[in-house]
């Protein structure tokens, strides 16, 4: 009997372990905790097992698996134990008809995420499905099963509605089986949801990622308390009037660098020392406690004037640094490229903005804008950070069920990425920034004498201006006020 009980306990633990293996964490020795829980189906006591582990992109998560020995009810759930991300995120995937294999993309859905399929006018609100680790196919099939579960009762109450739902379930299953084209959208204000890119590290033509600033309502839903000054300002501004400068201003002044403030200061002080460091009160982005932010202005030769802001929280230890562009939004975007040939080129300073994409043609690498955020580093440091980012996403790519060919592809790509730093062959680093807020430092005093560095300006497309919020930006009020001041 004792051996049978031990085997049963091992099987229950594997319910949680199987979920962990799906994300391929390296911490196989993490303890599994269990508690008695009430079964909501038969109202008898079952067992819930918990495992705290670490997965890529989301830091710590809490996996839970429930099983009732009386009625056989089983379920599992994923909850995020780490911090809420600075911005919300929207993942959008375009599926074509007959694309069954692509429906196996892994999806991490947090408890605050909303799933949408515009073609069906279908939406799964956060409260309808808990946090889960699944695939696109699994999420759609689960939604169809939940709709089907109450159909017998609906047919007794309202047969017409039940018939309409039956037709809708067929459409939903057609999406889940790849028989029809559709768009899969997951919108998460907490920024903790994720959709796998099966072509990684190459770009995915079907997948687009958008990051956005949360509204006050979304902040409140995540548990943040509004800043008193913001509440007061909202009371003054009418609901139908957009405050001047709010449209597009966030995109236009988005942080160029986020990292260790001491490292940023050390890099920038090589150009000019700040004449004045200003300090003003602010609110911690992690715990909402009052803290201080320090700001100074400096000028980078051949680039532009920038504003450096650094804040730290004594309560939770959160640190944040931002480097914002000064002056007006550039009229054109630019593409900066450098041919890396020697050790000196690896030491070139690099400012990569949040709106810049990174391309290394020799290894077919392309990072879309928003990837890695904004950073102040060197050419060598940028390659290292890309490699570290790939290490973090290995949890979604190196599982036991992964095809051997895909695993070899990842390992070969990482080896080629690290090989860039050995400089066995020249290679090219390209940064394409629609806001011209990115920069690669020249290797000589005069940028004209640096023949390995090229800067190409281009006109932004309407789509790029729309994404940055520039098409809706209205500066007429500010222009009129500025002109009237100069006339007087």
Given a cut of 90, is residue 428 above it in pLDDT?
A: yes
Residue pointed to by tokens 């990292």? 259
Cα-Cα-Cα-Cα dihedral sign, residues 18, 23, 29, 31: negative
Q: Interior CA angle at 143 toward 139 and 146, to 5°? A: 140
Same fold yes or no, 88-216 and 333-396+405-461? yes
pLDDT of residue 259: 41
Q: Indicate the fold that domain 333-396+405-461 takes in CATH.
A: Jelly Rolls (2.60.120)
pTM over the 0.85 mark = no
Cα-Cα-Cα-Cα dihedral sign, residues 79, 175, 407, 17: positive
Q: How many whole angstroms separate alpha carbon 99 and alpha carbon 184?
A: 13
pLDDT in tens, 271-283: 444 556 788 888 8
Beta bridge partners of 351: 376, 439
Q: How many whole angstroms separate alpha carbon 89 and alpha carbon 200?
A: 19
Specify the CATH number of the domain 88-216. Answer: 2.60.120.1040
Structure tokens belonging to residue 111: 């408890």
The H or E element spanning position 343 is: helix 343-346
- Residue-range domain boundaries for the chain: 2-80, 88-216, 333-396+405-461
Q: How many whole angstroms separate alpha carbon 54 and alpha carbon 301?
A: 42
Q: Name the band, by pLDDT with cuts 50, 70 and 90, for residue 66.
A: confident
pLDDT in tens, 38-55: 888 898 899 988 877 765
Ranges 172-186, 303-317, 424-438: which has the least confidence: 303-317
Q: Could you tell me which residues come within 8 angstroms of residue 386 by beta carbon, excluding any fewer than 6 positions away? A: 358, 365, 367, 372, 417
pLDDT in tens, 215-239: 888 888 877 765 554 444 444 444 4
- DSSP state string for 164-221: HHHHHHHHHHHHHTTSS-EEEEEEETTS--EE--TTTTS--TTEEEEEEPPPHHHHHH
Residue 194 · residue 107 · CB < 8 Å: yes
The mean pLDDT value of the chain amounts to 75
pLDDT in tens, 104-127: 888 888 888 999 999 998 998 887
Of 63 and 95, the one with more pLDDT: 95
Structural domain 2-80, CATH architecture:
Single Sheet (2.20)
| Helices 159-176 and 136-149, packing angle to 10 deg | 160
- Mean pLDDT computed over 440-446: 83
Q: How far is CA 483 from CA 210, 270, 488, in A?
A: 37, 37, 9
Beta bridge partners of 184: 93
Q: Name the band, by pLDDT with cuts 50, 70 and 90, for residue 293.
A: confident
State the burial class of residue 101 (Cβ atoms within 10 Å of its Cβ: 0-12, 13-18, 19+): exposed
């Amino acid at each position: 009997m004792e051996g049978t009980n031990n085997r049963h306990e091992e099987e229950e633990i594997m319910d949680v372990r199987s979920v962990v293996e799906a994300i391929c964490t390296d911490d196989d020795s993490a303890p599994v905790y269990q508690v008695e829980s009430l079964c909501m189906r038969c109202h008898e006591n079952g067992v819930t097992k918990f495992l705290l582990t670490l997965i890529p992109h989301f830091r710590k998560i809490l996996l839970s698996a429930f099983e009732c020995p009386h009625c056989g009810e089983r379920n599992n759930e994923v909850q995020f134990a780490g911090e809420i991300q600075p911005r919300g995120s929207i993942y959008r995937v375009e599926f074509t008809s007959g694309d069954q294999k692509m429906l196996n993309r892994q999806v991490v859905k947090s408890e605050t995420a909303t799933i949408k399929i515009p073609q069906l006018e279908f939406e799964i609100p956060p409260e309808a499905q808990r946090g889960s680790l699944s695939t696109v196919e699994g999420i759609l099939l689960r939604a169809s099963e939940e709709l089907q579960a109450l159909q017998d009762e609906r047919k007794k109450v309202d047969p017409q509605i039940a018939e309409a739902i039956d037709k809708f379930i067929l459409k939903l299953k057609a999406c889940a089986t790849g028989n029809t084209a559709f768009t899969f959208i997951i919108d998460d204000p907490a920024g903790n949801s994720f959709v796998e890119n099966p072509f990684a590290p190459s770009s995915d033509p079907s997948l687009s990622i958008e990051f956005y600033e949360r509204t006050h309502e979304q902040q409140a839903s995540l548990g943040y308390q509004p800043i008193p000054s913001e509440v007061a300002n909202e009371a003054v501004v009418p609901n139908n009037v957009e405050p001047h400068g709010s449209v597009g201003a966030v995109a236009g002044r988005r942080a160029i660098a986020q990292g260790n403030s001491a490292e940023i200061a050390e890099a920038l002080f090589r150009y000019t020392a700040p004449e004045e460091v200003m300090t003003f009160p602010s609110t911690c982005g992690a715990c909402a406690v009052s803290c201080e932010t320090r700001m100074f202005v400096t000028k980078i030769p051949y680039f532009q004037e920038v504003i450096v802001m650094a804040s730290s929280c004594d309560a939770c230890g959160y640190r944040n640094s931002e480097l914002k562009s000064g002056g007006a939004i550039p009229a054109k975007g630019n593409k900066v490229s450098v041919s890396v040939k020697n050790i000196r080129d690896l030491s070139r300073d690099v400012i990569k903005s949040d709106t810049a994409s990174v391309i290394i043609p020799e290894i077919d690498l392309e990072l879309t804008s928003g990837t890695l955020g904004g950073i102040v580093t060197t050419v060598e440091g940028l390659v290292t950070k890309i490699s570290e980012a790939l290490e973090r996403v290995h949890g979604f790519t190196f599982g036991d069920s992964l095809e051997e060919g895909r695993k070899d592809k990842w390992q070969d790509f990482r080896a080629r990425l690290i090989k860039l730093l050995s400089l066995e062959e020249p290679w090219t680093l390209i940064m394409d920034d629609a806001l011209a807020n990115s920069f690669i430092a020249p290797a000589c005093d005069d940028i004209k004498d640096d023949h390995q560095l090229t800067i190409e300006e281009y006109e932004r497309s309407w789509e790029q201006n729309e994404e940055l919020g520039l098409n809706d930006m209205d500066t007429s009020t500010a222009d009129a006020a500025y002109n009237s001041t100069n006339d007087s």
